[in-house]
Amino acid sequence: MKNLPLQDQRYLDAAEGWLGLGDYLAANEELEQITPQLRAHPFVLEVRYKIYAKAKKWDGAVEIARTLSEMLPNNSWGYIHFAYALHALKRTKEAYEVLILVKDKFSNSTMLYNLACYSCKLNQLKESMSWLEKAIDLAGKRDIRLMALDDPDLEPLWNQIGEI
């Protein structure tokens, strides 16, 4: 994948900076300065997704992440965020299905953790615990456990998580 020309990269960096400061409107304005033909570049789309997510514009976020998963099929980012946006729209079964199809290809702790969340929301508690244990094995016990104990998606498992 080609890098962006310097001026467009500066706009992209500025957009990421504004996002870091919590100003998604200013971030969006920076992206609008990028050369129109380059606005579909994966780096730009990733930041655009983050803007949509921050603004809770999940329909747009779904489309951007779906596009990224198609553009970069060997990168888990698009799939993870595609599923996350679907889940935010209460389309958890679809979110689960997106990740279950690519879990063997990537199998990183974020994907496994999200599978735990989605299966828990689908009331598949044993499966959810299995995904969570795999995520913990990959990422380390302390970080994932603490995150899981604070995640409302996993609330039905909180008592069991404490025993891991």
Q: What digits encode the pLDDT tens for the residues 99-115?
A: 999 999 997 999 999 99
Instruction: Name the residue with tokens 């069991």.
Output: 160
**For the chain, percent of residues with pLDDT exceeding 90:** 89
Question: Across residues 15-33, what is the average pLDDT?
Answer: 96
pLDDT value of residue 45? 98
Tokens (6 digits) for 134: 């795999």
The one-letter amino acid at 58 = W
Burial (CB < 10 A; 0-12, 13-18, 19+), residue 121, is buried
- Taking all residues of the chain, what is their mean pLDDT, rounded to a whole number? 95
- Residue 139 binned pLDDT confidence (cut-offs 50, 70, 90): confident
**To the nearest whole percent, how much of the chain has pLDDT over 70?**
98
- Report which of residues 89 and 144 the model is more confident about: 89
pLDDT at site 164: 75
Q: How many helices (H) and strands (E) does the chain have?
A: 10, 0
Among 25-29, 58-62, 72-76, 142-146, the least confident range: 142-146
- Whether 58 has a pLDDT exceeding 80, the answer reads yes
pLDDT at res. 116? 98
- H or E stretch including 10? helix 6-20
Average pLDDT over residues 59-65: 98
Query: Which tokens belong to 76?
Result: 């888990």
pLDDT of amino acid 1: 61
Q: pTM higher than 0.75 for the full model?
A: yes
Task: Count the Cβ atoms, other than its own, within 10 Å of residue 142.
Answer: 9
Using DSSP's 3-state secondary structure scheme, residue 23 falls into coil
Tens-digit pLDDT profile for residues 77-93: 999 999 999 999 999 99
